[in-house]
Amino acid sequence: MIKVKVVGCGGYGGVGIVELLLRHPHVKIQTLVAATETGMLMSDLYPHLKGFCDLRIHKPDEPAAQEPADVVFFSTPDGVGMVQAPAELAKGARVIDYSGDFRFNNTADYAEYARRIGRDPVHKAPELLPQTVYGLPELNRQNYAKDQRLVGNVGCFAMSCLLGLAPAAAAKLIDFRSVICDCKTGVSGAGKKATPIHHYPARYENMQAYRLSGHQHVMEIERMLGQLADEAVPVTFTAQVLPICRGIMACLYGTLRDGITREQVWAAYADYHRANSFVRLYDSKTAIGTANVRGSNFCDLVVDVDERTRRLRVISHIDNLVKGQAGNALQNMNLICGFPENTGLDFPGSYP
């Protein structure tokens, strides 16, 4: 059995990975760590886990929190993993970090990312950046080292956009100067701690676009699409928050290149995602919404061609807390530990 530590267990991504790990056949949850909600049992904090996960939550500086593990998940805000991961790696653990700390391979890219979220641009563990991999198996599994020890899990909006646009970029279906990512997320995308703009009265019956320029996920999207297309792919990206709990719906658009047919679009999408069991393709006749992926690691793509305007239109649906966060982190654990990618993740979620 693989022994796992979850740092940040009290937040949404922490409880999410605990829920998933409980069904994993090769994992024992050994250590739970949080910052302020400590000393209590996980099942006191999350009563739905009573009888399933009754472990005590430790402070980061307690000896119990330092116990070596085989895999450590950092479900923590930006800046925590880069300080604590070196010690875990030195003890022999594999580390999967949910934040932007390890999504970039060099200090310059990290500095630009940090600037966008208002953080110190100086990375605290720059020696680790060449060792990390961008944790998006569907696009990047060929770039994981044989003994990959450090993974930067993907941003949730980036996940929805990249799974939806990768086939179009790789097969050069669209004019790369015409890409629009129009993305809606549920309120859980901001994490567990309520702020004035995230609590109920501010969100009820309210839809809102935010951070119109300089959103940090645009960097990830443009970098990966650029690699697939072998040329720059600038995207117009609009993040919006809707009064739902979980789910991302990304409406993705690009002008089709001359001569590209609907059949070629479908062939390119089917071909690209053939090996990606968590990506399901639909035509526009099937009614798909975020409820179809709720609680699951699936990404449901509605692939459509607007013949009248000659535009590709892809509607990408994920659960931001599963394929956009904890589920993808577990998929990454499976990949770097040698298990089939869908181990512990092969279930359809809950509808409605």
Ligand X SMILES: NC(=O)c1ccc[n+]([C@@H]2O[C@H](COP(=O)([O-])OP(=O)(O)OC[C@H]3O[C@@H](n4cnc5c(N)ncnc54)[C@H](OP(=O)(O)O)[C@@H]3O)[C@@H](O)[C@H]2O)c1
Strands 27-33 and 2-7 turn out to be parallel
Pick the stretch among 255-263, 264-272, 280-288, 320-328 that binds ligand X (CB under 6 A).
320-328
Q: Report if residue 151 touches ligand X, rule: CB under 6 A.
A: no
Going by the DSSP 8-state scheme, the letter that residue 187 receives in this structure is G
Pick the stretch among 75-83, 86-94, 199-207, 277-285 that binds ligand X (CB under 6 A).
75-83
Q: Which helix (H) or strand (E) holds 46?
A: none
Q: How far is the CB of 24 from ligand X (least distance, A)?
A: 19
Size of site (CB under 6 A) for ligand X: 31
Region of residue 306 (left: phi > 0; alpha: psi -120 to 50; beta: else): beta
Q: How far is the CB of 318 from ligand X (least distance, A)?
A: 10
Of 53, 156, 161, 299, the catalytic one is 156
- Taking the CA atoms of 220, 223, 226 and 232 in sequence, report the sign of the dihedral they define: positive
Q: Report if residue 195 touches ligand X, rule: CB under 6 A.
A: no
Q: Report if residue 75 touches ligand X, rule: CB under 6 A.
A: yes
The residue within the footprint of ligand X, chosen from 28, 48, 50, 193 (CB under 6 A), is 193
CB closer to ligand X out of 137 and 189: 189
| Six token digits for residue 280 | 């399901």
Going by the DSSP 8-state scheme, the letter that residue 256 receives in this structure is B
Contact 235, 161 (CB under 8 A): yes
Q: Report if residue 327 touches ligand X, rule: CB under 6 A.
A: no
Q: Report if residue 156 touches ligand X, rule: CB under 6 A.
A: yes
The residue within the footprint of ligand X, chosen from 152, 167, 324, 327 (CB under 6 A), is 324
Q: Report if residue 7 touches ligand X, rule: CB under 6 A.
A: yes
In the complex, residue closest to ligand X by CB: 11
Distance CA 183, CA 252 (A): 8
Distance CA 101, CA 81 (A): 7
Q: Is 156 tagged catalytic?
A: yes
Q: Report if residue 76 touches ligand X, rule: CB under 6 A.
A: yes
Strands 299-306 and 94-97 turn out to be unpaired
Contact 204, 223 (CB under 8 A): no
For the chain, give percent helix, strand, coil, nearest 5.
Answer: 35, 20, 45
Residues 283-312 contacting ligand X, CB under 6 A: none
Helices 156-170, 217-229: crossing angle, 10 deg rounding: 20
The residue within the footprint of ligand X, chosen from 52, 60, 276, 282 (CB under 6 A), is 60
The residue within the footprint of ligand X, chosen from 73, 98, 253, 278 (CB under 6 A), is 98
C-alpha distances out from residue 64 to 39, 58, 83, 122, Å = 12, 7, 18, 30
Residues that bind ligand X (CB under 6 A): 7-8, 10-14, 33-37, 60, 75-78, 80, 98-99, 155-156, 188-189, 191-193, 320-321, 324-325
Catalytically active residues are: 156
